[in-house]
Structure 1
Amino acid sequence: MARIVFDLDGTLIDSAADIAAAANATLAEVNAAPLSVDEARGFVGAGAVVFVQRMARARNLADPAALQPRFIHHYEAAVTKTVIYPGVETALDALGAAGHRLGLCTNKPGRPTQAVLAHLGWQDRFEVVFAGDTLARRKPNPAPLQAAFEGLGEGPKIYVGDSEVDAETAERAGVPFLIYTPGYRKSPLENLPHTAAFDDWAEVPGIVDGLL
């Protein structure tokens, strides 16, 4: 059986509306114009520090570091608008029932990650959870992904994500990569290294079987 690690935002859940709400609560405190959900979605992927830097640049704010604690404060409570992508839970149930071991590796900070997992009732869904601040390095550095696989024991490795960061992480870790095409990706699919692409979570158990 395989060890399968998943990205979170843009892969398993669409959290862009909540991230935009946290950003806009932060921007309101400095009298800056709000982000649209599409803007926020475009800034996601490289972790909260980079998100705030991109947000500040978009609003011509000179000191992103000063905004970081406020953004995290709002981000920790931003769960109510997040939705699970269709078919995700059925696919995860099928993979677990088949004996695969499931983990999570996200650049979302730890406390917001745990908050959204609790909101979704997913506290026990994954055997290991590596967030953006679990280690000193985050994706696309392969260290957290490799640590997640190590935490799942032995067996073939598969990583499932949606973005440029995820594709680079998988490539650097030397593991097969499945990309969810409706996620937060900004580049053409053909420009990203991947083993398989899917737009329907019902396909994933079959894709996994085909790799083993």
Structure 2
Amino acid sequence: MKTLLFDLDGTLSDPLVGISRSVNYALTSLGYAALPETEFAQYIGPPLDDTFKLVTGAPDAEIRQLIALYRERYAETGFAENTLYPGVEAALNALAQKGSPMGICTSKLAQFADKILRRFGIRDHFGFISGGDVGVTKQQQIARLLSDGTVDTQAWMIGDRSVDLMAAHANGIESVGVLWGYGSREELSNQLPRRLLERVDELPTLADLQSS
């Protein structure tokens, strides 16, 4: 069956609290003003260095400092300030029972993703974790998964932001958008995904679509 590549933030879990507090810890540590939590939705999904560049306009050396400070807090407490969306565990169980191979493709460090998945007790559903880093795009991550044979072009990428869908299409694979995360219907629809899911409990239907 086709591998289902899941984004993590905004797709399987809601990371808003941990990300916003860790970003603000980094910003205030270097003298920048903290951002209101209500402004953070737009920053969940894209790579962290892009977020800090957009917010501060700082030079690359300072961006690296901000990222290091962010990761300092996130490694200690931020990863745990994360909530699994209701119904995700049941949906993953159903997909596993249908025989769907699954993996993670996230912009966050693989070690953070692993800690989060283990905290929720769902790590065993995923055969691999592709994590991002500074200067590494999700498009490059999927390209690497294809080139090393971890997945093939029959894989589907599932995510809540346009960056997930664009990365899939740039590599010639199908995409599925989810509407319970941080991307709007317009943002996702513009990328022409194979499916646009309204509810978490629709995830198991992907196994049936794969075999059709």
Shared fold, TM over 0.5: yes
Aligned counterpart, 2:52: 52
Gaps of 5+ in 2: none
Q: Is the 8 A contact 1:105 1:145 kept in 2?
A: no
* Aligned-partner Cα distance in 2 for 1:4–1:91: 13
Shift of 1:187: 6.9
Equivalent residue for 1:15?
Answer: 15
**1:81 counterpart residue number:** 81
Aligned pair in 2 of structure 1 residues 107, 32: CA closer, same or farther (>3 Å)?
same
Deviation of the 1:136 alpha carbon: 7.3
Matched-pair identity in % = 26
Range with bigger deviation, 88-97 or 21-30: 21-30
1:116 aligned counterpart, secondary structure: helix
Q: TM-score, with normalisation over the residues of structure 1?
A: 0.85
Aligned pair count reads 206
After TM superposition, give the deviation of residue 170 of structure 1 in Å.
1.2
- The farther-off stretch of 13-22 and 118-127 is 118-127
- Alignment partner, residue 206 of structure 1: 205
Structure 1 residue 119 and structure 2 residue 114: aligned? no
Q: How does 1:1-212 map to 2 (within 5 A)?
A: 1-57=1-57, 63-77=62-76, 78-133=78-133, 137-141=136-140, 142-146=142-146, 150-151=149-150, 156-186=154-184, 188=186, 189-212=188-211
CA distance in 1, matches of 2:100, 2:207: 10
TM-score (norm 2): 0.85
| Secondary structure at the counterpart of residue 23 of structure 2 | helix
Query: Which string of whole-angstrom CA distances, capped at 9 and with x for unpartnered residues, describes residues 134-179 of structure 1?
Result: x97331334245368x325x79422211111011011112222111
| In structure 2, C-alpha distance between the alignment counterparts of 1:71 and 1:155, rounded to whole Å | 35
In terms of fraction of residues, the more helix-rich structure is: 2
> Is the CA contact 1:137–1:144 (under 8 Å) kept in the aligned structure 2?
no
Q: Residues 136, 79 of structure 1: CA spacing in aligned structure 2 closer, same or farther, 3 A cutoff?
A: closer
* Corresponding residue SS for 1:151: coil
Which whole-Å CA distance do the structure 2 matches of 1:203 and 1:54 have between them? 34
Whole-angstrom CA distance in 2 between matches of 1:143 and 1:156 = 13
SS at match of 2:123: coil
- Residue 25 of structure 1 deviates from its aligned partner by 1.4
RMSD of aligned Cα (Å): 2.4
Deviation for aligned residue 1:28: 2.4
- CA separation of 1:145/1:177 partners in 2, compared to 1, >3 Å: closer, same or farther? farther
